[in-house]
Amino acid sequence: MQETISIRTDRHEGLYDITSEVRNIVNKSGVKTGIVNVYVQGATAAIMIQENWDTSVQNDVITLFRKLIPNGVWEHDAQDGNGDSHLKAGIVGPSESIPIINGAPGLSTWQNIFVCEFDGPRNRRNVVVTVMG
């Protein structure tokens, strides 16, 4: 089974929790044991599993990347000014695969699934969710 989630991002950089949408797709699939793959389309976004207890970890992720990969110093910036966005997305990666256990994503208590926006805001980011069982 495969479905696409579309989200709107409202910041240049940010993490957007899509865990509930992925859970709903897994539940609708009826798969009890298997894998769910979550893949974001686009070269300047990524998928990350991270804590969502409060926004501190999400803010720290963005702060870390801003320090490690600053804006405005990359060769690609001459084309469209977003060289850092491509590098950040490449390091995190476009997808995560999560085991399905007893009909639900096998996330721990503190794990959530995030779209990482590195070049927003965007009216639409498409996330392809593929359930295999």
SS3 85: helix
* Residues 104, 111: Cα–Cα separation, whole Å: 13
Averages of pLDDT over each 10 residues, the chain, 133 residues: 98 98 98 98 98 94 97 94 98 98 97 98 98 97
pLDDT of residue 66: 97
| Count of domains observed in the chain | 1
Q: Which domain holds residue 110?
A: 2-132
Task: Give the CATH number of the domain where residue 56 resides.
Answer: 2.60.120.460
